[in-house]
Amino acid sequence: DEWFMTPQTVNAYYNPLMNEIVFPAAILQYPFFDASRDAAANYGGIGAVIGHEIGHGFDDQGSRFDGDGSLRDWWTEADREAFEQRTKTLIEQYDALTPRGLDEKHHVNGALTIGENIGDLGGLGIAIKAYEISLGDESAPVIDGYTGIQRLLLSWGQIWQQKGRDAETIRLLTVDPHSPNEFRCNQIVRNVDAFYDAFEVTEADELWLDPAERVTIW
């Protein structure tokens, strides 16, 4: 019957012992959510955050708990093996990333951040699928020259905007289970086919990732 964050906290969390996702009141505002704006932008903001927290129920740690919050191995061997192979590839992707402006020795720890990276990847995928389902048989309107999926992805990018000092970025690389925001945005979309289709991304573009190297966990 307790929350582990205050209502004033702009954040969200998944509690595996209760099998619950919690969104404090403070996150239900711009840029994550605005009831008066285009639905696509909300799906790319709070929708992806909701998907992220759902994804924690099936990440490297949350997947060890069943629907009742009990620590139990409820997956088949084949499922666990496939999951570990896919997460291994994602770990390798993130191990190769260095924040802009830093020496290459200051790279992301793919193993430390794997749970949050799984959440980010699954969260954006869930948001896109949910938005497409919400449209039904209707076509998304084009607004200011942008399609619905483009607006969703632009909103996704917007929620990760950040300014930071190099010294703090270096410190966080060693202790924070979250990847730097630039990679929470860009490395995720590199693995999402809808991004390539929406913006006609080609091999000539910096964010291109060969289809064989893209990871889908769920």
Q: Give the per-residue pLDDT at 218.
A: 83
Active site residue 200: no
Q: Give the per-residue pLDDT at 111.
A: 98
Whether the upstream peptide bond of residue 31 has omega within 30° of 0, thus cis, is: yes
Q: Give the per-residue pLDDT at 2.
A: 83
Q: Map out the domains of the chain with their CATH numbers.
A: 13-213 (3.40.390.10)
Q: Please list the ranges in the chain whose pLDDT falls under 70.
A: 1
Q: Which of 20, 81, 120, 203 is catalytic?
A: 120
Q: Give the residue from 26, 48, 75, 55 showing the smallest Cα distance to 195.
A: 48
Active site residue 166: no
Q: Which of 2, 38, 53, 203 is catalytic?
A: 53
